Amino acid sequence: MGALLLFFALTFGLWNVGLAYLMRELVNGNPVFIFADMKHAIKRNFKQGLLFGLLDFALIVILFVDFNYLGALPSSFYSDFMYMAIIAISLIYLIMRFYLYIMLVTFDMNVKKLFKNALIFVALGIKRNLLAILWIVAMVFINFLLFVLLPPLGLIF
């Protein structure tokens, strides 16, 4: 199980880099050859994608562990404050991830500048970002309802 987790952690950023490149090209209306373009994107951004993927994976795991740990503590002002802070940090990081991989495949910037620019985009487009989160939650809820009410249709979606 540990070897699988290590493999997933090492390839997490590389897959996200490749998929971000494919999605960017699709949205721009350019023709996409899935395997060749993914291989090209991973090869072009290998070092930064690997480093960024490990950092991204570590941050997600840390936020998840903190969320679970602080949720299990007995209620006090300190634990409630820290729990809300972890929720806010997780939400901000979730929105930052909308921008991070697209900027990684589009521009040649270091990791510090990527995080800085993504945080600026979160602040500048707060209405659009919250609306995107709301739509994502709505789609997950609708898919969950479809899966509960009509399992074959839910599996298709």
Structure tokens that stand for 102 in this block: 């697209």
- Torsions phi, psi for 45 (to 5 deg): -115, 35
Q: Are 17 and 42 in contact (CB under 8 A)?
A: yes
Q: Which amino acid is at 78?
A: Y
Which residues in 112-140 are b (16+ Cβ under 10 Å) and which e?
eebbebbeebbeeeeeebeeeeeeeeeee
Q: What is the pLDDT along the chain (157 residues), one digit of tens a residue?
A: 889 989 998 999 999 999 999 999 999 999 999 999 999 999 999 999 999 999 999 999 999 999 999 888 898 999 899 999 999 999 999 999 999 999 999 998 888 999 999 999 999 999 999 999 999 999 999 989 988 888 888 777 7
User: H-helix or E-strand containing 128?
Assistant: helix 126-149
pLDDT the model gives residue 156: 79
If we measure between CA atoms, which residue out of 33, 10, 8, 13 comes closest to residue 22?
33
Give the predicted TM-score (pTM) of the model.
0.84
C-alpha distances out from residue 104 to 51, 85, 132, Å = 11, 27, 21
Q: Are 18 and 42 in contact (CB under 8 A)?
A: yes
Distance of alpha carbon 30 from the chain centroid: 24
What are the residues whose beta carbons fall under 8 Å from the beta carbon of 106, sequence distance 6 or more? Answer: 24
